[in-house]
Structure 1
């Protein structure tokens, strides 16, 4: 029997395993897919140190109308999913009020503050395999209108003053110097200087998984059919095999409710789906750094496989058929800014971001079961926060003092506690 059983081999599960192995615990990691090949695989590749403000629900009428009428590229919804999504989305809207949101940011900022620190730890431990994937330049938040650039610059200055986030404002000539292949139609950009970008997120998670195995961790590929506590601790059946451990961690991202519901935890979780596609370039063009076009709602990033476009949020059922409408709109908008070539993937990649209504992840022990821990609900920042979440879970599980206060991330907050 192992000390710990971890369900979910995305970046959170792998990171938790690494931190536990370093503390002398024996760990078995389980997933139905190859490690790091689900939500961790398809993001824009930002270790988002500047992301102290999680994505709130829009509250201005113009944005709500654009989403409601399916005019927005940044967000769309699937009408058939609304009956089930309505309760958590209503709470999401409520938690996004200015008063509540200020409290969220105050709790969230210290967690984001651990992002570069914990990724640095893993990257150094992995060596050249991981280091070669990293750019420390930061990324560009680009704007088409001078007014919106100026407004964002004021917000960036506020985040610099309050949280120490580094940035510089680039006018169009400065942005064009950094990105000579841009075609125009931009007023300039905020250059966030603190975050790092990754040219192949899936490869970085694979490097972390290799570290997990190097430290002595065990991986079993297969779906865990149930998780239950027993006299021996925690038990799961994987590929017809009974696995036992003293402690268990649920790090299943959008699939966590499949296990948690059966244990009596009906949490107000929902998913934001997203898509990506890789493109070639024309006319010898190159994109040096990630660029996000917030006035349309997509990101464009140089990746190992080509230029990756990632879409905004799609509010839909987790397992519903793909509807990559946003990708088509994002592609058209990106071609106005950059000489994209042909599509390189046979079909768009689709993933699901696990979300909570208050925009903060769950990082805690389960309130009704001893020895059961949960790390889920990171929304847009799962890739950024995976190693930090693993650090905090391992500290709690081994009785160490946590690097930051994790009380705001307790599961019990959704159960009246």
Structure 2
């Protein structure tokens, strides 16, 4: 069978891969998007739908002894660990802890800032192309302040965010009820983060991105990225429709990227943080317009097309270990106090997803230094949906030789020893 030859292969049809493919196509390239499943059905499918314009600092490892002691008990809803899995990731956790020191954390935040600042514009551009603007809601989200410490720190956080053009409004009980009437009467204060957007169905958004690619002349193929090889200056991958080849290939496979890059000679310190979601109805005719983020509990209640989606925090466990509902059950218990109208579960089983995480909390975006025509765009941790379109833009600019809108140096794979 004759190979389909194009300008670029993009491996991975999640939030990052679909965006890379669209941005390359918009620069005149013929693109094949490859995934083992349909677009938007892996990591990007199950998140909270937050476009995190207000999250200016990455999620860091706790540095204080007091916080570490609290997490060591393994009874929290925002983080859970499998004791048998910890020895396998111990070195990675040490590196994560090291990079979470304030100066190094600030360096990572500074590197990510241009991407965060441009993330909404990039989403708007692709939603327009994909005719999917109806899936995006531009009303921000609400963060209840449930502890004295959170209330004490709220104004300082709002002031700090304002310096980066992010608006947060401190709400008392009366204004909170006017905004979201079904929030528990026990919540006296909250922050309404105005600027972030939310997605009503992340999986549908990414399917719309992929459909736009095909509608505009691109190709989507079901294929196995493990078959990627290079011969005579062309990268080739096998698919159910036969082989496809191109002088350029982009690895954008989220948590599965390290499997492929290790075979190509790169020791990338990528692990997976697991997370769950479950959908619920609302009782008594109640409604929820904006996501509710319980920062301390580590979960989000997000209105979606299917119902209210509860997404959990971090689970450190083997990627292929059986699901464990402890964390979801703990978060649900907290959520029912926060949102008393939360109804019955709508899904037969919790959804389990895997986030691709690097210890310095920055993705890898840029060329593979050892192979001509090979490019990387993965490792976005908790921000894959948020940063997918803007990371795809940066990668496409690098591939086509345009002047990049942000400094790509902090995202180079060469920052890790191989």
> Structure 1 length as normaliser, TM-score?
0.96
2:66 is matched with 62
Give how far 1:236 is off.
2.0
- Offset of residue 275 of structure 1: 0.3
Q: CA RMSD in A?
A: 1.3
Matched, 1:375 2:377: yes
- The Cα offsets for residues 165-203 of structure 1, whole Å up to 9 and x where unpaired, read as 111111222111111112222231111111101111111
Q: Report the alpha carbon displacement of residue 331 of structure 1 after superposing the two structures with TM.
A: 0.6
Q: How far did 1:78 drift?
A: 1.3
Aligned to 2:337: 336
Distance (Å, rounded) in 2 between the aligned partners of 1:91 and 1:306? 38
- 2:412 maps to what in 1? 410
- Give matches, 1:8-407, under 5 Å: 8-127=12-131, 130-161=132-163, 163-239=164-240, 241-338=242-339, 339-407=341-409
Q: Provide the C-alpha distance between the structure 2 equivalents of 1:273 and 1:6, rounded to a whole number of angstroms.
A: 24
Structure 1 stretch 150-159 or stretch 287-296: which is displaced more? Answer: 150-159
CA contact (8 A) 2:58 2:105 kept: no
Shift of 1:254: 0.4
> Which one is further off, 346-355 or 50-59?
50-59
Give the 3-state SS of the residue equivalent to 2:60 in structure 1. coil
**Contact 1:146–1:188 (CA<8 Å) still a contact in 2?**
no
3-state SS of 2:322 partner? coil
Q: Which moved more, 1:15-24 or 1:63-72?
A: 63-72
Instruction: Give the conservation status (yes or no) of the 8 Å contact 1:75–1:313.
Output: yes
Which structure 1 residue ranges, 4+ long, deviate > 4 Å from structure 2? Answer: none
Deviations 1:259-311 (A, max 9, x none): 11110111111111100000011121111110011122211011111111000
In the aligned structure 2, how far is the partner of 1:226 from the partner of 1:259?
Answer: 9
Whole-Å Cα distance in 2 between the matches of residues 240 and 17 of structure 1? 19
CA distance in 2, matches of 1:67, 1:79: 12
SS at match of 1:241: coil
Deviations 1:23-49 (A, max 9, x none): 111111110111011111111001111
The one of 6, 18, 32 aligned to 2:10: 6
Alignment check: 8 A CA contact 1:153 1:169 kept? yes
Contact conserved, 1:81 with 1:316, CA < 8 A, in 2?
yes
Q: 5+ unaligned residues in a row in structure 2: which ranges?
A: none
Question: d(CA) in 1 for partners of 2:192 and 2:212?
Answer: 32
Q: What is the CA deviation profile of residues 128-182 of structure 1, one whole-angstrom value per residue up to 9, with x for unaligned ones?
A: xx12112111001111134412313312211212x22111111222111111112
Ranges in structure 1 where 5+ consecutive residues have no aligned partner: none
How much has 1:240 moved relative to structure 2? Answer: 8.0
For residue 125 of structure 1, report the CA deviation from its aligned partner: 2.0
Shift of 1:217: 1.0
Q: Deviations over 1:331-378 (max 9, x none)?
A: 111111211111000000010010110001111101211110001010
- Residue 405 of structure 1, CA deviation: 1.0
Aligned CA distance change for structure 1 residues 240 and 213 (closer, same or farther; 3 Å)? closer
Distance 2:154 2:408 in 1: 30
**2:85 counterpart SS class:** helix
